[in-house]
Copies of this chain bind each other. A is one copy, B any other.
């Protein structure tokens, strides 16, 4: 389909009657090459459309300028956003990103890690799946784990616990005291942090919320919204937007309207959160900053683990409990 095959450093060298070493040095600004000659070389390289062979360079230097990013499930809307943030941060450093999807399966995760290592990635950024732990010692390249402050080996994460506190404070502040927490998967440290943050604050206020565990999916939220007895609660705090959104749709079908009959909060500020009706009060992570720190770590620019602040996003899914709702007799 094309003619543009070769064009190597040797071609430039012979064409200009110099050595390949000089060409290599000129093109990369290393060693000593007179600027006049260097300029000539660059011009010739351009003219020939020379592009260094990546494999050859990688072979010699042992660096592929590629990092692997492992996400638990690219189908869940938070992770494409993460991937984008990582790609932007990587591009700034001249790195390419190989994306792998563990599809929620720890074995698949191991497989992906091995594959990526075999492909010569210089570093890995891993968002672990289902509470697994990656021992960076098992892996011959730097690994940045992005999960939660509670995750062993975590390098960068949002402050999920603080996010939970923000939600809880907000709900208390507007007068809620009978609470349901959709806690997400029991084995997820991220979910656990979020929930613990909420509970801390509630407990401190003498409120003991009810807890329900489930998957972090829309469907699980929807199922809970259909099954639970809503009369006991004035507000529901979900550990994930998807959960909250599924819940919202389901309870709406039962005649429970948000926020009049019940306030509802999510977590993550997915694009959906502003789209659903009513728009969801939630917590936003600063993915860009988290991604950037993870990259700085694997690039060796820092060796500290960092937790980044989150932000409460107030929308229309939360309101003061109505006297009616407080009476515990809303539509059922």
Contact = CB atoms under 8 A, between A and B. Distances in A.
B101 A1 contact: no
Interface of A: 1-2, 4-5, 51-56, 58-59, 64, 66, 74-75, 77, 79-81, 83-84, 87, 96-101, 114-120, 136-143, 218, 245-246, 249, 252, 271-272, 275-277
Contacts of A96: 98, 115-116, 119
Q: Tell me the number of copies of this protein.
A: 2
B74 A77 contact: no
Contacts of A118: 51-52, 54
Contact of A1 (B55, B83, B87, B142): B142
B5 A140 contact: yes
A284 to B, nearest CB: 15
A246 B75 CA distance: 22
Given A97-B99, A140-B5, A56 B54 contact: no
Nearest to A64: B55
Contacts of A87: 74, 99-101
Nearest to A136: B1
Contacts of A4: 140
Contacts of A142: 1
B52 A59 contact: no
A237 B140 CA distance: 54
Contacts of A275: 218, 245-246, 249, 272, 276
Given A98-B97, A99-B97, A120-B54, A84 B77 contact: no
A235 B219 CA distance: 29
B137 A54 contact: no
Given A55-B55, A275-B249, A101 B77 contact: no
A117 B53 contact: no
Contacts of A79: 80
A75 B66 contact: no
A139 B64 contact: no
Contact of A58 (B2, B55, B117, B138): B55
Contacts of A101: 84, 87
